[in-house]
Amino acid sequence: MISNNIYITPKQYGIVKLLVERLEVDVEELTRALGIKREDLMRDLAELERKELIRIERYKTVEYVLSETGKKYIEKGLPEEQVYGVVEKCIGLLLEEFLKCVENQGVLSEDARIGLQYLIKSRCVSIENDKLFVKDVSKCLETISKAREIRELILNLVNGGSVKEEVIVLAKRRRIIETRERSVLKVRALNKLLDAWRNGLIREKELVTVIRPEIAKEPDKYIIKEFDLTVELPDLPVPKKHPFMQFIDELREIMLSMGFEEVKGPHVEAELWNFDVLFQAQDHPAREIHDTFFLKTTLTAQITPNLLDSVKRVHEAGWGYVWNPARALKLVLRSQTTAVTARALYERGGGEYRVFTIDRNFRPENLDAKHSMEFYQLDGVIVGKNVNFKHLLFFFKELAAALGLKEVWFKPGYFPFTEPSVEGYVKHPKLGWIEVFPGGMFRPEVMEMLRCSGYNAAAWGIGVDRLAMIILGIDDIRLLFTNNVTELSNMKYRGLEYTWKKTTGRNIRVVETPY
């Protein structure tokens, strides 16, 4: 039985009163009920917990939010809805003309292609003699009805409702929603508080931190704030480099230990270096505005006439179209560090050498847990007369071993400027298999334009950000650029000491170091 009064402030009294009624309450719900900001409530909750009147329980929960793509789809409809909404104005046209017609009706190019695929898959429309026709109106109506139902279910999900797991999987696959981890605080009333409240022992007093003469006259009306001057100040953390930057430095050291030379290139690049010398045709989809940042400027690149003539000859012979030098001189934000590799090959020409670069690239992506409009690549090339595809695979395996990655598998791939090509995957503990090792042998056309005819080149463009997610133990690419000290301290940074010995092979020592 509690016999002594317990004095608390008016704000704390409001908290206690609500807890006695509900016994347990979420902090967010508590702030709404009392009309108090969360940050203005935390000190009072800590003091009540110190008095053993309440207990604060902390846990994490997952919530679903609309991605940028999802917001667009909720407003305008899913791609199949958008395309079907204008299909009557464009039906009967050739495939490419149909897509242009749909785009002219206000549907984005990417959404037009995605929407058309869904309509074809559902047998709503069909292609006959390369022209689009409505095949089955009932199938169309069924597809549109299902799309509207999906939108309603997703809206219900992001508003806190429950849906079937298959709806969540579908929304994630179509990049409509993103998952976010949210910290939740629950406040629970303890028996000491309930007993004191029933016995009328909870009393309000005004909190003061500065003693004035008038306060001394009525001391029973106030709670004098106590200060413990014996408490030591917390130690400030020792400044350290960001874990992501540490990882990039480690990658650089590994490459140098393998005998590679580092090269650099500009972020603002000519289309010629970014695309043309890599044998990407000027009408290739990767050169469209939804995949490349174009600079709004009248400035153009300065390229030697000999190189322009060589690129023109190779493109027109290989792709069978009229190559436009003016297009090649336009400026873009570099979308791949292979542009740096191309510059290095052109400067050095044929020979036996290996170079690499680690730097940023830029693409118009929607920022989410797996994509960013700014990302790092480790690009490199091994040049020589006898270099072959096996050297590329060996390099990938060697780099994976140096990083302590044990599970790696390869499958054939396709890239415009390499043949043969490969995609290498490593396993993320949460996200599963992710591609990080794309590469291949530069095509003869590329080597000819870069003044390396007669030589072979094994080339790659590794996703550094994805590798870092595995090494640092995170599943959200946005955390690579965080300045939140708590999140940084949770990153499991693994330092690597790597040296190459010609006689005995690699020598790797892994050192676990907390941030």
Domain extents for the chain?
Answer: 6-62+181-224, 68-175, 244-263+337-510
Residue 306 is predicted with a pLDDT of 93
The alpha carbons of the chain give a radius of gyration, in whole angstroms, of 31
Which of these, 408, 354, 395, 423, lies nearest to 506 by C-alpha position?
A: 395
Which of these, 393, 423, 278, 287, lies nearest to 343 by C-alpha position?
A: 278
Helix (H), strand (E) at residue 436? strand 432-442
Q: Which of the four CATH numbers 1.10.10, 3.30.300, 2.60.120, 1.20.950 does domain 68-175 have? A: 1.10.10
> Exposed, middle or buried: residue 427 (CB in 10 Å: 0-12, 13-18, 19+)?
middle
| pLDDT tens sequence across 216-242 | 666 666 666 666 677 677 676 667 778
**Contact in structure between 276 and 309 (CB atoms under 8 Å):** no
Residue 328 is predicted with a pLDDT of 93
Residue 512 is predicted with a pLDDT of 37
Residue 290 is predicted with a pLDDT of 63
* 3-class SS of residue 25: strand
Using CA atoms, how far apart are residues 110 and 151, in angstroms rounded to an integer? 19
Torsion, Cα 157 159 161 164, to 10 degrees, reads 0
- Total count of residues recorded for the chain: 515
| pLDDT tens sequence across 185-210 | 788 888 888 888 888 777 767 666 56
Full pLDDT tens readout for the chain, 515 residues: 445 777 777 787 778 788 788 788 877 777 888 777 777 778 778 888 888 888 888 777 777 788 888 888 888 888 888 888 888 888 888 888 888 888 888 888 888 888 888 888 888 888 887 788 888 888 888 888 888 888 888 888 878 777 888 888 888 888 888 877 777 778 888 888 888 888 877 776 766 656 666 666 666 666 666 666 776 776 766 677 788 888 999 899 999 988 899 999 999 999 999 999 999 988 887 777 667 899 988 999 999 999 999 999 999 999 999 999 999 999 999 999 999 999 999 999 999 999 999 999 998 877 777 778 889 999 999 999 999 999 999 999 999 988 888 878 899 988 888 999 999 998 887 788 888 899 999 999 999 999 999 999 999 999 899 888 888 888 888 888 877 777 777 776 555 444 444 333 444 443 333 33
Q: What CATH number should be reported for the domain whose range is 6-62+181-224?
A: 1.10.10.10
Q: Yes or no: is domain 244-263+337-510 CATH 3.50.50.60?
A: no
Which of these, 350, 361, 338, lies nearest to 450 by C-alpha position?
A: 350
Task: List, in order, residues 6 or more apart from 376 with CB less than 8 Å away.
Answer: 248, 358, 359, 360, 361, 463, 464, 465
Name all contacts of 409-417 with Cβ < 8 Å and 24+ positions apart: 409/433, 410/437, 413/438, 413/440, 415/440, 416/278, 416/279, 416/280, 416/281, 416/284, 416/286, 417/278, 417/279, 417/280, 417/338, 417/442, 417/443, 417/446, 417/459
Distances from the Cα of 510 to the Cαs of 163, 254, 429, in angstroms?
44, 13, 19
**Fold match, 6-62+181-224 / 68-175:** yes
DSSP state for residue 229 in the 8-state scheme: T
* 3-class SS of residue 396: helix
Q: What is the pTM of this model?
A: 0.54
Token code pair at residue 131: 């022209």
Residue 331 is predicted with a pLDDT of 94
Which of these, 69, 9, 483, 11, lies nearest to 240 by C-alpha position?
A: 483
**Contact in structure between 15 and 44 (CB atoms under 8 Å):** yes
**Contact in structure between 471 and 247 (CB atoms under 8 Å):** yes
Residue carrying structure tokens 């740096």: 340
* 3-class SS of residue 8: strand
Residue 379 is predicted with a pLDDT of 94
Strands 408-415 and 374-384: unpaired
Residue 501 is predicted with a pLDDT of 42
